[in-house]
Amino acid sequence: MKIIIAGAGEVGFHLAKLLSYESQEITLIDTDKNSLAYANDHLDIRVIKGDVTSIAILNEARINTSELFIAVTSSETTNITACVLAKELGAKQTIARISNSEFLDQTEVGFTKFGIDELISPETLAAAEIELLLNQYGFNDSYEFEEGKLTMLSLRLSRTASFVGKTVREAAQVFPELHFVPIAIQRFGTQYTIIPRGDTEFKEGDKVVFMTSKGGDEELFQLSGKVRTELKNIMILGGSKIGYKTARDLCEGRFKVKLIESDKEVAFECADDLPNALVINGDGRNVELLEEENIKEMDAFISVTGNSETNIMSCLVAKSKGVKKTIALVENMDYYQLSQSIGIDTLINKKLLAANNIFRYIRRGEVLAMTKLSNMNAELLEFEVTSKSKITQKVIKDLDFPRSAIIGGVIRNDIGIIPLGDFQIEVGDKVVVCCLPRSITKVERFFF
């Protein structure tokens, strides 16, 4: 697939890196020669120095033969302009990164008629991820398919989990109806990702990813030994776009929000725009300030400043004060390996969220959604089944489905289903599959 990426910043470089691993034909455009030099030295891609809104530069990148044009520079205006030009010059699909989330909410402005197929806002994606994690307290990662008809949840098994030492089949027998299924396991102390089968045994320390239908989260709470408590008091460190949007969204729900911002001008702006939140102008790294603001009474602490180290350290302070749920925004992908070992519940990364959102355009077949499992070498793909799909020809247990992949759930008539081996997939179903990278191509063939 020929893909052109405009912008060699954090999101653009990360996308180019992921896509180059999959042998995609990537061209990266940017005005910064240092960013391009680094990308050229570390990735097997083509780089072009120039303005992405230049028709000459786009033609040099052979825009007329590109299947996907992704504009992820730091300038929203540049991204929109570049996508409009790219479409006019022959790009099949275009995606623009934006910072103004208002564009996502306005239906009267149809960006597709301008030549932009998709708008993505990493900040909006991050805020939505935080809200989902708070609503699914007790789990480390969460991802919804079709507005929650199926939900991916992950947790690390403690000694109190009742299914430690049991096989997948034995754990499933505890409940008369199956509303969850494990789809991936990362064994404690290793980086290997296991696609579980019926005889796979759960072990203490395992990080297990589950697919759940309605009621599955409650069942998992019972089996994991966790006690569900409602989160209400939330402290947010950082009045950035993510912090502001998170506070705004949470204030509309059941949460009481305190927002701490060190910049006086930004703090006053947040206070004016967020009448239902308590905005504090101060340094959130100051432990005395956190104690004065009753951090011990907080149910969750979310750190989304522009500094990853500040976010990690402040979350560790919050955890030491007894805060139940901690979420830190990090830019360095390597930090993902540290989250569980150092005691932070969840790390989120804008680059990864944006890449997940874009990746569904890369996959073959009718891919509706896609996400990479954090810290795991596996992907979750949601396919729409068509009349041409081979997946409908046999029941699941008789399909020659790869061992390194598993069908986690099916959405039929707007109802989420956890399918067993004798389930037959039909045209119109939406199927969620978890698979290791080596089996993606084979899985996609079932949905052509």
Does residue 94 sit within a domain? Answer: yes
Confidence of residue 141 (pLDDT cuts 50, 70, 90): confident
Round to whole Å and give the CA distance between 445 and 364: 8
196 and 286 co-located in one domain: no
β-bridge partners, 185: 194, 208
- Among 168, 195, 224, the domain-final residue is 224
359 and 439 co-located in one domain: yes
Question: Phi/psi class of residue 4: alpha, beta or left (left: φ > 0; alpha: ψ in -120 to 50)?
Answer: beta
256 and 162 co-located in one domain: no
What is the value of pTM for the model shown? Answer: 0.75
Q: What is the pLDDT of residue 109?
A: 63
User: DSSP label at 47?
Assistant: E
150 and 252 co-located in one domain: no
Q: What is the pLDDT of residue 254?
A: 80
Average pLDDT, stretch 255-284?
94
**Exposure b/e, 146-158, CB count within 10 A at least 16 = b:** beebbbbbbbbbe
Q: What is the pLDDT of residue 419?
A: 92
pLDDT at 340 over 90: no
Contacts of 327 (CB under 8 A, 6+ apart): 130, 133, 300, 301, 302, 303, 315, 344, 345, 346, 347, 348
- Among 224, 255, 279, the domain-final residue is 224
pLDDT in tens, 411-432: 999 999 999 889 999 999 999 9
Does residue 277 sit within a domain? Answer: yes
Q: What is the pLDDT of residue 363?
A: 66
194 and 245 co-located in one domain: no
For residues 202 and 270, the answer to whether their CB atoms sit within 8 Å is: no
Does residue 340 sit within a domain? Answer: no
Neighbour count for residue 266 (Cβ, 10 Å): 17
31 and 114 co-located in one domain: yes
pLDDT in tens, 369-383: 777 777 677 888 899
Q: What would you report as the CA-atom Rg of the chain, rounded to the nearest whole angstrom? A: 23
Contacts of 267 (CB under 8 A, 6+ apart): 239, 261, 279, 280, 281
Q: What is the pLDDT of residue 351?
A: 79
pLDDT in tens, 68-103: 999 999 899 999 999 999 999 999 999 999 988 778
Q: What is the pLDDT of residue 129?
A: 86
10 and 115 co-located in one domain: yes
Q: What is the pLDDT of residue 245?
A: 92
Count: domains in the chain: 4
Confidence of residue 148 (pLDDT cuts 50, 70, 90): confident
User: DSSP label at 53?
Assistant: T
Question: Domain containing 397: what range?
Answer: 354-445
Q: What is the number of H-type helices and E-type strands within the chain?
A: 15, 22
Question: For the domain that residue 7 is a member of, what is the CATH number?
Answer: 3.40.50.720
108 and 48 co-located in one domain: yes
User: DSSP label at 200?
Assistant: P
Round to whole Å and give the CA distance between 209 and 224: 13
Instruction: Please provide the size of the chain in residues.
Output: 448
17 and 116 co-located in one domain: yes
For residues 423 and 396, the answer to whether their CB atoms sit within 8 Å is: yes
81 and 7 co-located in one domain: yes
Q: 434 — phi, psi (to 5°)?
A: -105, 130
Neighbour count for residue 133 (Cβ, 10 Å): 21
**Exposure b/e, 66-84, CB count within 10 A at least 16 = b:** bebbbbbbeebebbbbbbb
Neighbour count for residue 331 (Cβ, 10 Å): 14
Average pLDDT, stretch 249-275?
92
Round to whole Å and give the CA distance between 211 and 411: 12
pLDDT at 174 over 70: yes
